[in-house]
Chain A
C-alpha cells in the first residue's frame, strides 16, 4: 500500500533537529547549516522510513509522534543560541542549579540541559492527556492542586498565557520545589492561601522530610508490632512461671491445699467408720 512520506527537504531546521534527536542520532555541530542536518537526516532516518512502515498502525503511531515533536519545537530552542543567563534560567527550570557559565563550562551545561529536556519531554508525552483535564478556571480556584499541570506546562504548547501567570504565582509560592523529570509531583493537600486574589500570607515550609525523620518513622512503624511481640512474650513467660511454681510447691498453692483438704476429709471419715464397724463385728 502507498505510504505517504514527507519530503525531508521541506522540513525546517528545528524539525530536522528534533527528528534526529527522536531517532537518537548524534547532532551535527549546532552552528552548522540546514543542509548538513538534512544530510545527516537522510543518512540515518530517511532510509529507515521507507523500510519500516509496512502497516497502517505503525504509520499512525509515527504520525502521532511527529505531531508531538512539532509541538515541542517551540520548547526545543537552539541551545547554543541562548545567552548565558537564559541558559541558566532554563537549567533552573529543570531544577539544576547551574554555576557560573563560562567558556569552559558552557558546553557541559548545554548538554546537561539538553539531556534534561529530552528526558522531560519523553515523560511528559505520556502525561499529555492529563494536562488537558485541568482547565484554566479550575487551576485558579484550587491553589493546592496546581503542581501537576504547572510542571507539565513547560512542554505543553496548548496551555494559554493565563496559565503562565498562574505558573509565576506558583513559583513564588513554592520556590524550593524542584521540578521532577516525570512532571508528576505528589504534595499534600493544604488550605488555600493566596487563591482567589487573597494575598499570600506566608511561604509554605519545605515538604520533603529529612532522612532522619523518615528513618524515625520507619522505626516507629516497626515498633508497634515489636511492642505487641514483647507483651505476648511476657504473658507467655508469666504463664509458664505460674505453672512452674504450682508444680514445685503444690502445698503452698491454695488450690492444692483445697484439694488436699477434700481428699483428707473422706479418709478421716473412713477411719472413724472403721473402728465402729469393728465394734459391731466384735
Chain B
C-alpha cells in the first residue's frame, strides 16, 4: 500500500462529519448501496464498527468482505483509510 487514492487522501484530510459511506476509499456505489441496506448509511457508522473491532484492520476487512461483498483490495483500502483517519482525528 505505497500509493493512496485521491479519495483516501480526501477522507483522511478532514473530520468525516456527516459524509456518506461512499466517501470511504474502497467503497464505491455498489458496495455503498449494500452497506446502506444493512444500516451502514454514514461513514461514521462504519467507523463505529471499525472501532468495535478494536481498530483491527484484519478483522474489519473480513467483516467488510462479508457484509458488502468487497474484494480484498477494497476492504484493505477502506480499513487503511479508517485507521489513518483514527490516527489523525481520534
Listed in ascending order, the chain A residues whose CB lies under 8 Å from chain B are 97-100, 102, 104-105, 107-108, 111-112
Contact = CB atoms under 8 A, between A and B. Distances in A.
Given A105-B52, A107-B66, 14 more contacts: A97-B54, A99-B52, A99-B53, A99-B54, A99-B56, A100-B52, A102-B52, A104-B49, A104-B52, A104-B63, A105-B53, A105-B63, A108-B53, A108-B63
B49 A112 contact: no
A212 B66 CA distance: 38
B62 interface: yes
B30 interface: no
A97 B58 CA distance: 13
B13 interface: no
A90 B66 CA distance: 23
Interface in B9-62: 49, 52-54, 56, 59, 62
Contacts of A100: 52
A112 B66 CA distance: 13
A112 B52 contact: no
Interface of B: 49, 52-54, 56, 59, 62-63, 66
Contacts of B66: 107-108
A97 B55 CA distance: 12
B69 to A, nearest CB: 15
Contacts of A98: 54
A170 to B, nearest CB: 26
A108 B62 contact: yes
A112 B54 contact: no
Contacts of A104: 49, 52, 63
Nearest to A109: B59
16 contacts: A97-B54, A98-B54, A99-B52, A99-B54, A99-B56, A100-B52, A104-B49, A104-B52, A104-B63, A105-B49, A105-B52, A108-B59, A108-B62, A108-B63, A108-B66, A112-B59
Contacts of A112: 59
A150 B66 CA distance: 36
A107 B56 CA distance: 15
Contacts of B54: 97-99
B43 to A, nearest CB: 16
Nearest to B67: A104
A100 to B, nearest CB: 6
A98 B59 CA distance: 11
Contacts of A105: 49, 52-53, 63
A105 B66 CA distance: 11
A108 B59 CA distance: 7
B48 to A, nearest CB: 9
A153 to B, nearest CB: 28
Nearest to B54: A99
Contacts of A102: 52
A99 B54 CA distance: 6
Nearest to B49: A104
Contacts of B63: 104-105, 108
A229 B56 CA distance: 47
